[in-house]
Chains A and B, each alone.
Chain A
Amino acid sequence: MQAATELPALRADLQHSVGGRAIAAELRRCGADSATTVPDFVQLSLDACLREPDSGIALTTCANENQAVCAAAGLYFGGRHPVAIMQNQGLYNCLNSLRTIGLDGRVPLLLLVGQFGREFANLGQDPRQSERRMVRLLEPVLDAMEIPSFRLEGPADFGNIARAWDTAWQESRATVLIVGHYTLWD
């Protein structure tokens, strides 16, 4: 009789993670039916889930984040309910597109933005206190852009997915869900 495989203990840092499959299910429950993305190292398990044929969310991969924002706007104008998925440096790359589409254009668009490069020592701490500019600038930049944001720092923040979605659609504007750590391969 073969001994049961013993699973390794979950890495301590992953207590700050939320499952990619769980995020996809919550997005579907909110009403998302399509997504645009420049793949994010932080949200790789979510990306893999959305690439499954029966994911229920049609995924379009873009060459850069400006395209992801603009294609999402086109999907919305065509009657769909898209989200855009990218990482923090991608958000920095597409500020003008976000200004046109998600602010002046009042397109309801939820963006899931991963905190790429976040040091593990900052997990559970305020990301504005990160040693890394890539991480700590994200929220101040969003504040300056007048874009509301919500944190997904672990399972306790799961409700922020729906809160961010509702903010985007009720206020008809771009809204960001900041994914603080690697999504779990659930």
Chain B
Amino acid sequence: MSVMAIDACRAVNDVRGDSIVVATMGALNALDSLGGDYPLMVGCVPLMGGSGALGLGLALARPERKVIVLDGDSSLLMELGVLSTIADAAPANYIHVVFANGVQFGGSSNTPIPGRGEADFVAIAKGAGFRHVRRAETMEEFEALLTEAMSAPGPFFCELAVKAPAARLSALQPQPEIAGGRFPRLGDEGRRIREVLSTNG
């Protein structure tokens, strides 16, 4: 059983309220495809592995708001130690969701990641000291977890089983140029969050 990233992101949008959202990898692509312009969202690109710590800093700076980190499994594998860093700081407003599809460049090449999708992130997060850990394999389970995480003190960790879209790259459709706007994106969106929070508290 697994869900599509876009459905999971739609569910996050439905419950986020005035939370700060940090997204990377497939979750960011899915949020972008949903459209809208949420001023409290920052795309952690191009920086695989950085979203957890980025969200931690935001959560520590803004303890009155939930911070929802939408991570990828290949991204989290790059920085597993961040789970101990987060658990040590233990911000009660922190929610970490890892979209686990077992591949890198999901929807592009679907290249297998180390462990081939068998890493048990729930066990890893629990071992790192997370207070609440859960796994979701259906939309119903994920929506229930989101509701709980939004109301309970954290930090909260969720591994979500996600189905990767079909790979589209081939000899007939090779990789496109990476748009230049991808490089300043993290800073631009982060500064917007800072400005919005300084205005609205």
Contact = CB atoms under 8 A, between A and B. Distances in A.
A74 B47 contact: no
24 contacts: A36-B57, A60-B56, A60-B85, A61-B88, A62-B85, A63-B81, A63-B85, A66-B49, A66-B50, A67-B52, A70-B53, A73-B54, A73-B57, A74-B55, A74-B57, A75-B57, A77-B191, A78-B193, A80-B57, A97-B47, A104-B183, A104-B186, A106-B184, A107-B190
A78 B53 contact: no
B150 to A, nearest CB: 19
Contact of A106 (B57, B187, B197, B198): B187
A101 B189 CA distance: 12
Interface in A64-86: 64, 66-80, 82
| Residue of A63, A74, A78, A106 with most partner-chain B CB within 10 A | A74
Given A63-B84, A105-B184, A70 B47 contact: yes
A37 to B, nearest CB: 11
B153 to A, nearest CB: 19
A58 interface: yes
A127 B53 CA distance: 32
Interface in B148-201: 183-184, 186-187, 190-191, 193-194, 197-198
Interface residues of B, number: 36
B187 A70 contact: no
B194 A78 contact: yes
A78 B57 contact: yes
Contacts of B47: 70, 96-97, 100-101
A71 B184 contact: no
B183 A71 contact: no
B127 interface: no
A69 B184 CA distance: 16
Nearest to A104: B183
A77 B81 contact: no
Nearest to A74: B57
A69 B58 CA distance: 13
Interface string A2-23: 0000000000000000000000
Given A66-B49, A71-B54, A79 B194 contact: yes
A140 B190 CA distance: 30
B79 interface: yes
B187 A105 contact: yes
Given A61-B85, A70-B47, A101-B50, 5 more contacts: A34-B61, A60-B85, A71-B54, A74-B57, A77-B42
A78 B85 CA distance: 18
B60 interface: yes
B11 interface: no
Interface of A: 34, 36, 58, 60-64, 66-80, 82, 96-97, 100-101, 104-107
A96 to B, nearest CB: 7
B184 A79 contact: no
Contact of B190 (A36, A63, A73, A80): A73
A61 B55 CA distance: 15
A145 to B, nearest CB: 15
Given A67-B79, A100-B47, A74 B186 contact: no
A110 to B, nearest CB: 15
Name the 5 nearest CB pairs between A and B, nearest first: A74-B57, A78-B61, A105-B187, A63-B81, A70-B53
A77 B191 CA distance: 6
A76 B57 contact: yes
